[in-house]
Structure 1
Amino acid sequence: MAKSTRSKVIEYVEPIGARVLVRKDEPKRTTKGGIALPDQAEIPTITGRIVAISTQIENDEDFPLRQYDKILFHPKEAIPVDFETDNQLFVVPVEDVVAVFRRETGSKASKSDED
Structure 2
Amino acid sequence: MAAAALPKVVAQFKKIAPLANRVLIKKADPITQTKGGIVLPDQTKTRIHRGTAIAVGPGGRNDNGQVIPMQVKPGDDVLLPDYGATKVELEKDEVYFIYRETEILATIPE
Q: Which ranges of 4 or more aligned residues in structure 1 deviate by more than 2 Å?
A: 29-38, 40-45
Amino acid corresponding to residue 98 of structure 2 in structure 1: V
User: Conserved in 1, the CA contact under 8 Å of 2:31 and 2:45?
Assistant: no
Amino acid corresponding to residue 85 of structure 1 in structure 2: K
Unaligned runs of 5+ in 1: 1-9, 104-115
- Decide whether aligned partners of structure 1 residues 37 and 12 sit closer, same or farther in structure 2, where only a CA change above 3 A counts: farther
RMSD: 2.6
CA distance in 2, matches of 1:79, 1:40: 24
Unaligned runs of 5+ in 2: 1-12, 61-66
The correspondence of residues 60-99 of structure 1 with structure 2, limited to 5 A, is: 60-61=68-69, 63-99=70-106
CA distance in 2, matches of 1:13, 1:40: 34
Q: Number of residues paired by the alignment?
A: 92
User: Conserved in 2, the CA contact under 8 Å of 1:29 and 1:36?
Assistant: yes
Amino acid corresponding to residue 27 of structure 2 in structure 1: K
Q: Does 1:26 align with 2:44?
A: no
CA distance in 2, matches of 1:33, 1:98: 29
Q: CA deviation at 1:28?
A: 0.9
**Larger gyration radius, structure 1 or structure 2:** 1
CA distance in 2, matches of 1:64, 1:31: 32
Q: CA deviation at 1:44?
A: 4.5
Q: CA deviation at 1:88?
A: 2.8
Aligned equivalent of 1:48: 51
Q: TM-score, normalization: structure 2?
A: 0.65
Q: TM-score, normalization: structure 1?
A: 0.62
CA distance in 1, matches of 2:54, 2:82: 16
Identity across matched positions, percent: 27
